[in-house]
Amino acid sequence: MANNNNHNSKKTHRNFLFKAIKATAKAIIFYVIYLFLWSFLAPVSEFVPGLQQMIEAFVMVYIVLMIVGDLASGTIFQYFFNVAKALFVIGYLIISLGGGIFGMTFENINLMVDLRFFLAVATLLGLLGLAKSVLQAVNYMSEKAEYGRV
């Protein structure tokens, strides 16, 4: 009995270690992609004050939610963190874009940019991700309930 319990403990630790390595690798890849894309956006940050801090805050929170969600994989909490990630993306877009209309004055030129269409499409995509996560959670719970009856 003790040998079987020790084997299960080792298997659980090995499984968690694999999840941690996988989550770390995904986070590193995501951060490298961010650094690559930032090299293209860096010239724009001169004209938009606080752009770099805004994007870095988003990337940090998103990576943390991604890591925690990967560590919780195989449990119902994985879907909670996926829902939190989708809600975070939607909320951050709405707050950071401030309604979708930007105004900027550069020397004697007034520039007005309307991003409402982009905001609407991004919000709808976020809602699609939210719906996917909720449906996955319902599917997970129904599979657990079905497995419990057998």
3-state SS class at 122: helix
| Domain tally, the chain | 1
Alpha helices in 42-76 (DSSP H): 51-71
What per-residue confidence (pLDDT) applies to 62?
92
* Percent over 90 (pLDDT), the chain: 43
Q: Rounded to an integer, what distance in angstroms lies between the CA atom of residue 20 and that of residue 71?
A: 6
- Residue with the bigger pLDDT between 12 and 90: it is 90
On average, the pLDDT of the chain sits at 86
Range of the domain at 70: 2-149
Asked whether the predicted pLDDT for residue 1 surpasses 60, the reply is no
Residue 73 in tokens: 């994989």
What per-residue confidence (pLDDT) applies to 4?
66
What per-residue confidence (pLDDT) applies to 150?
47
For 39-63, what is each residue's pLDDT tens digit?
888 887 777 777 788 888 999 999 9
